[in-house]
Amino acid sequence: MKFTLSWLKDHLDTEASLETIADTLTRIGLEVEAIEDKAAALKPYVVANVISAEPHPNADRLRVCMVDAGDGAPIQVVCGAPNARAGMKSVFAPAGTYVPGKNITLSVGTIRGVESRGMLCSGAELGLGDDHDGILDLPADAPTGQPYPLYAGLDDPVIEINLTPNRADCASIHGIARDLAATGIGTLKRDAFPPVRGEGACTVPVTIELGDDPALCPVFALRLVRGVTNGPSPAWMQARLRAIGLRPINALVDITNYMTFDRGRPLHVFDAKKVAGGLTIRRAGEGEELKALDGRTYQLDGDTVVIADENGVESIGGIIGGEASGCAASTTDVLIEAALWDPKNIARTGRRLGVITDARYRFERGVDPAFVLPGLDLATKLVVDTCGGTPTQATIAGEMPDTDRVIDFPWTEVRRLAGIELSRAEMKVTLETLGFHVAGTGDRVKVLTPSWRPDVEGKADLVEEVIRIAGLDRIEPKPLLRADVNAVGPKLTVLQRRTRSAKRALASRGLLEAVTWSFVRHEDACLFGGGGADLALANPIAADLSDMRPSLVPGLLRAAQTNADRGYGDVALFEVGQCFETDQPEGQSIRAAAIRRGSARHGGDGRHWSGTAAVVDAFEAKADALALLTALGIQTGSLQIVAGGPAWLHPGRSGTLQFGPKNPVGWFGEIHPAAMKALDLKGTLVAFEVRLDALPLPKFKPTKVKPVLALSGLQPVSRDFAFVVGRDVAAGDVIRAAQGAERKLIAGIEVFDVYEGVGIPEGSKSIAVAVRLQPVERTLTDAEIEAVSAKIVAEVAKKTGASLRA
Amino acid sequence: MTDLDTLEHSLLEQVGGASDEAALDAVRVSALGKKGAVSELLKTLGAMTPEERKERGPLINGLRDRVAGALGTRRDALQAAALDARLASERIDVTLPLREAPEMRGRIHPISQVIDEITAIFADLGFSVAEGPDVETDELNFTALNFPEGHPAREMHDTFFLAPDHLGRRKVLRTHTSPVQIRTMRAVEPPIRVIIPGRTYRHDSDQTHTPMFHQVEGLVIDRQANIANLKWVLETFARAFFEVESVGMRFRPSFFPFTEPSAEVDIQCSRKGGEIRFGEGTDWLEVLGCGMVHPNVLKNCGLDPDQFQGFAFGMGIDRLAMLKYGMPDLRPFFEADVRWIEHYGFRPLDVPSLVGGLTA
């Protein structure tokens, strides 16, 4: 919403400075977006008399001018404009002036050997248009020495405010003035305009045919003015319209635009001679269209409310008029329309048709219903004053909606919600200046809302009115009392804490945290177990961001490839974030995943004097996964690691982490070659993914005391065993069998060698383990050690078919 | 010169001449070994008369002691020289660069870091963290938050929709974290003090907008929380977050469907050479929206607006990160460019806390 300072002062009697007005606007919720003050920007530019213009001694196209700027001795200026001539009036800028059109600051210079102490300017150089034909050529009576902006009438600053959608009333300069008046910086001018006494009835009948939903157009008023002369509108009106960015067209059209901004009352004018028969307000039929005043043709449908005559649709109600019945210079009889339209329907229609007009802007926010007839009268008066003519009486179809709303308001509500103590007198004055009626005198009053404030519905709205005018800066901050003064527990849930810790743990392993999109392309979603219809976006912003991600891995893999394409191939990335299995809240899981590419190992990547890093393998991903579980304090005693994983992992080089077969919590491994191909990935990639919300919760313990530490004074002994087992036997099974053989004495088992080849039968492998025995009561005898060894060998043989390597 | 003197002289000369421990040991054996020259002399003492022994004994023993002493001294010297020689050969080039340790290489994304910072500050003020799903119902994302039917935010060009279900109801990707306000108020009895960080989505993509971004919402509900408290909470937060003694804040009345009264908050800053500084200057920068929870929203959560009251506020986490740490552009946040993460990311052990300071 734009307006000029002088226009505002038509409605507000004030001595306040522009700065005060701007600050006040922002302070009361009408945020000033920009102030364009050409007068200030162009202050150094003055009307000047060109005394002489002689050819430049050293340049054919330049002239040396002597300029009288009204303040003393003539000033020498070198000028290249073809129209520079002695005796002309133009605009002069002295050295030191900023030239907005050229973005330079003038200095005293020497041009081809002749000194130049300023510049004669074109309109373009002043930023006032795009004429490049030469310097400004002002009339002979332009007063030498007068500041040019003053002379040119540019001394009216333009203020632009950012209007929140609830403040329909301030889409009007009158409404803005009313708000400002409530702050006390001025007084609202309430100019009374007597109703227009038209002669005779309006001869164009109006019918509203919206039987199913009369609220679409509650009221429609029309008046005919005969015998008008539709020339250009007055210069002052044109200047104001131009200042706020509108193009003057002709008096009748300009008056409707002027009323739209001046009073927030959009109107439409029809050339009465181009209207056939009466006007009907109805829904458009399918297939109807309108060539509108903006030159575009709009396809209408049954949800569009239109104004039609016998020729068909003439105007889209409340949005834009049609070209056919528009007013032109030839118009002699004009129909002025003032109506009310349904805000929701206007918004919907405007969006569907993609048309933005000043009328739509106001009707979709809500136009003052009580101002339909006064608005029509005021417009009529402007038409008659400007264009002459004789008005008829108004035809009114429909009924004025009842907008009266009374709010039962305890004054204490302001203190309760805003935490500030204001006097009742102040609050009452504020509301009344804003147009509310306050009835009653006690602690509770009845407040009648004005017709132009559909946004004020209840007590909280009145509190806002009071405090925004009082100023939010008057509310002193007060400490918020804690609600949990007696609480000592953590503020985060276990899962929240684990989510945070997971990030720190993974970053500590040299991984970089990525935050990738929650949506992936459909093919990727399908490949990673998702892609269901319930998680596909109906309106994705791009084809590759179409489905909610079922896994963090595809996003990380693609990110790795993008980095590789940039020349960073050895990347290690992780993400902790949400994944989606269904569209239900419980279908959203929180996961941690990491990928490693090339040689990006935990210990370092690439070549190094201490040893070159090998290409990553599944164990690198396994290490990340287990490090994460350990960092999260997960008891891994009952964690099982079994071969295989989801389909996107290499079937032979992947594993699943589970707490029992029905409770998998994650997986790790090398990316399946088919998935690599589908995602167009190069190189070697490994990944792990863990569902943080599937991990077992810590057991509640009544005490935080750790178990007693029992240190043995007895030396542990170690025994090595080399088992020959079938190739498919898992080392984990060998370890578990050995562990199970002797629960009391075995303190640890390490696999120190895995071998296949010469000396081992085809289809078998050797797994060498070191078993550490910790004596408990006394040193073990050789016989006892032998007995334990025999039990281990027997148990491993029984469980895995192993034999001791010869 | 006696034969003992000759022998001693010869042995000491050999000790002095031994160039390494092996040579020295050969001298020791030749002198003090079982068949050594000195040992042989000692053996002769047994066959002597007491008088002879009395005279010869001290001489031979003295000889033995001096030879043994010389051997010891020489051995120490040789060992020291050998150690010196070994150490001289055992040199490493300490300037050789190491591989960077994993915990030095790893990085925390600025969004995670800033969420941790925000959480630390609000936890200290007694706030918990609440969460909700990204895939939300229209009811919780809009209706319960007092968005009227036909509000522009409910349109395809602003909001991501999922496919309609068999009843034609369409879920949305939440456009703000505010639906978690509703979830919280419906689940928890006041008093409520929560912050709600999370991912949010809008159908928008340009220089300063990405279709996915992060917000943090705050919600306080009890029987007395008011705008004065809201101002205190936000000022306290801003000072702590931007780590300055004081922050100029400007509360401008504004409009949101789910708060009444509503305000937008600008903070005072200076901009010099592309750098933003808080706690000084004359510029104002919009950072958040806030207000008293709208009576309709309270009613929608089963709370009587004449009994319960409170405030809510919301701000962009990505934007807070950009303001505090100076990233010029939003889009690289989600592009996983390792150069960007390494530059703008945080070291894993730099965990923000109020005890140690948010940043080192």
Asked if residue A465 belongs to a known ligand binding site, the reply is: yes
Residues B200, B318, single domain; the answer is: yes
Residues A260, A356, single domain; the answer is: yes
Position A131 scores a pLDDT of: 62
Tokens standing for B45? Answer: 């003492």
Cα–Cα nearest to A252, from A237, A263, A240, A274: A237
Residue A381 lies in a domain: yes
In this predicted model, what pLDDT tens digit does every residue of B282-333 receive, in sequence order? 888 889 999 999 999 999 999 999 999 999 999 999 999 998 998 888 999 9
The residue with greater pLDDT, A125 or A535, is A535
Residues B42, B172, single domain; the answer is: no
Residues B115, B253, single domain; the answer is: yes
Residues B241, B316, single domain; the answer is: yes
Q: Give Cα separations from A520 to A387, A547, A550, A637, A782 (angstroms).
A: 63, 5, 9, 36, 64
Residues A543, A682, single domain; the answer is: yes
A243 pLDDT higher than 90: no
The residue with greater pLDDT, B210 or A700, is B210
Residues B78, B210, single domain; the answer is: no
Residue B349 lies in a domain: no
Residue B354 lies in a domain: no
Smallest CA–CA distance, residue B82 to chain A, in Å, is 29
Residues A343, A243, single domain; the answer is: yes
Residue B103 lies in a domain: no
A110 pLDDT higher than 90: no
Half-sphere exposure of A189 (CA within 13 A, CB side): 14
Mutate one of A444, A504, A568, A591 to test the B interface: name it (highest B CB count within 10 A): A504
Residues A392, A341, single domain; the answer is: yes
Domain that holds residue A772: 717-804
Q: Which residues of B touch A535 (CB under 8 A)?
A: 135, 162
Measured between CA atoms, the residue of chain A closest to residue B121 is: A491
Q: Which residues of B touch A602 (CB under 8 A)?
A: 102
Domain that holds residue B66: 3-89
Share of chain A above pLDDT 70, in %: 99
Q: Which residues of B touch A559 (CB under 8 A)?
A: 335-336
Residues B308, B254, single domain; the answer is: yes
Smallest CA–CA distance, residue A43 to chain B, in Å, is 24
Smallest CA–CA distance, residue A220 to chain B, in Å, is 24
Residue B53 lies in a domain: yes
Q: Which of residues 42-71 of B touch A (CB under 8 A)?
A: none
Residues A569, A639, single domain; the answer is: yes
Residue B162 lies in a domain: yes
CATH number for the domain spanning A120: value is: 2.40.50.140
Q: Is some CB atom of chain A closer than 8 A to the CB atom of B160?
A: yes
Position B134 scores a pLDDT of: 96
Nearest to B129 among A29, A482, A492 (CB): A492
Smallest CA–CA distance, residue B229 to chain A, in Å, is 5
In this predicted model, what pLDDT tens digit does every residue of A758-798 receive, in sequence order? 989 999 999 999 999 999 888 989 999 999 999 999 999 99
Neighbour count for residue A631 (Cβ, 10 Å): 16
Amino acid at A257: N
CA B267 to CA B286: how far, in whole Å?
6
Q: What is the mean pLDDT of chain A?
A: 92
Residue B355 lies in a domain: no
Residues B174, B219, single domain; the answer is: yes
Residues A682, A790, single domain; the answer is: no
A152 pLDDT higher than 80: no
Smallest CA–CA distance, residue A240 to chain B, in Å, is 28
Cα–Cα nearest to A132, from A143, A141, A123, A140: A123
Measured between CA atoms, the residue of chain A closest to residue B305 is: A460
A353 pLDDT higher than 60: yes
Residue A291 lies in a domain: yes
Position B44 scores a pLDDT of: 86
Residues A443, A370, single domain; the answer is: no
Position A142 scores a pLDDT of: 83
Residues A650, A791, single domain; the answer is: no
A130 pLDDT higher than 70: no
CB contact under 8 A, B161 and A539: yes
CATH number for the domain spanning A529: value is: 3.30.930.10
Position A702 scores a pLDDT of: 87
Q: Is some CB atom of chain A closer than 8 A to the CB atom of B332?
A: no
Nearest to B263 among A472, A479, A508 (CB): A472
CA B27 to CA B37: how far, in whole Å?
10
In this predicted model, what pLDDT tens digit does every residue of A653-686 receive, in sequence order? 999 999 999 999 999 999 999 999 999 999 999 9
B153 pLDDT higher than 80: no
Residues B80, B125, single domain; the answer is: no
B163 pLDDT higher than 90: no
Position A129 scores a pLDDT of: 65
With beta carbons less than 8 A apart as the criterion, state whether A131 and A123 touch: yes
Angle of helix B50-89 relative to helix B3-17, nearest 10 degrees, comes to: 10
Smallest CA–CA distance, residue B83 to chain A, in Å, is 27
Report DSSP letters for A704-738, one per residue: -PPPPP----SPPEEEEEEEEEETT--HHHHHHHH
Position A488 scores a pLDDT of: 74
CA A519 to CA A530: how far, in whole Å?
11
Residues A69, A102, single domain; the answer is: yes
With beta carbons less than 8 A apart as the criterion, state whether B312 and B227 touch: no
Residues B208, B162, single domain; the answer is: yes
| Number of CB pairs, chain A paired with chain B, less than 8 A apart | 263
CA B243 to CA A617: how far, in whole Å?
44
Peptide bond into A664 cis (omega under 30): no
Position B1 scores a pLDDT of: 57
Residue A479 lies in a domain: no
Report the DSSP beta bridge partners of residue B197. Answer: B216
CATH number for the domain spanning A420: value is: 3.30.56.10
CATH number for the domain spanning A722: value is: 3.30.70.380
Residue A120 lies in a domain: yes
Residue in the block written with tokens 């009889």: A333
Residue B95 lies in a domain: no
In this predicted model, what pLDDT tens digit does every residue of A464-518 receive, in sequence order? 999 999 999 999 999 998 877 767 788 899 999 999 999 999 999 999 999 999 9
How many structural domains does chain A have?
A: 6
Residues B73, B194, single domain; the answer is: no
How many structural domains does chain B have?
A: 2
Tokens standing for A440? Answer: 């009653």
Neighbour count for residue A564 (Cβ, 10 Å): 18
Q: Which residues of B touch A562 (CB under 8 A)?
A: 335-337
CATH number for the domain spanning B312: value is: 3.30.930.10
A160 pLDDT higher than 80: yes
CA B185 to CA B190: how far, in whole Å?
8
Which DSSP helix (H) or strand (E) runs through B176? Answer: none
Q: Is some CB atom of chain A closer than 8 A to the CB atom of B229?
A: yes
Q: What is the mean pLDDT of chain B?
A: 91
Residues A413, A388, single domain; the answer is: no
What DSSP designation does A536 have? B
Q: Which residues of A touch B262 (CB under 8 A)?
A: 464
Give the pTM.
0.88
Q: Which residues of B touch A563 (CB under 8 A)?
A: 336-338
- Confidence at A100, pLDDT banded by 50, 70, 90: confident
B184 pLDDT higher than 70: yes
In this predicted model, what pLDDT tens digit does every residue of B72-115 receive, in sequence order? 999 999 999 999 999 999 999 999 999 999 999 999 999 999 99
With beta carbons less than 8 A apart as the criterion, state whether B286 and B264 touch: yes
Residue A283 lies in a domain: yes
Nearest to B199 among A503, A518, A535 (CB): A518
Residues A100, A245, single domain; the answer is: no
CATH number for the domain spanning A274: value is: 3.50.40.10
A127 pLDDT higher than 80: no
Which DSSP helix (H) or strand (E) runs through A415? Answer: helix A412-418
In this predicted model, what pLDDT tens digit does every residue of B34-56 receive, in sequence order? 888 888 888 888 888 888 888 88
CB contact under 8 A, A478 and B228: yes
Q: Which residues of B touch A603 (CB under 8 A)?
A: 99, 102
CA A468 to CA A167: how far, in whole Å?
13
CB contact under 8 A, B106 and A508: yes
Residue B201 lies in a domain: yes
Position B212 scores a pLDDT of: 95
Residues B190, B241, single domain; the answer is: yes
Question: A191 CB contacts (<8 Å, ≥6 apart)?
Answer: none
CB contact under 8 A, A562 and B226: no
Position A137 scores a pLDDT of: 85
Residues A618, A731, single domain; the answer is: no
Q: Which residues of A touch B113 (CB under 8 A)?
A: none
Residues B15, B131, single domain; the answer is: no
A375 pLDDT higher than 70: yes
Smallest CA–CA distance, residue A311 to chain B, in Å, is 32
- Confidence at A254, pLDDT banded by 50, 70, 90: very high
Cα–Cα nearest to A628, from A468, A761, A508: A508
Amino acid at A592: A
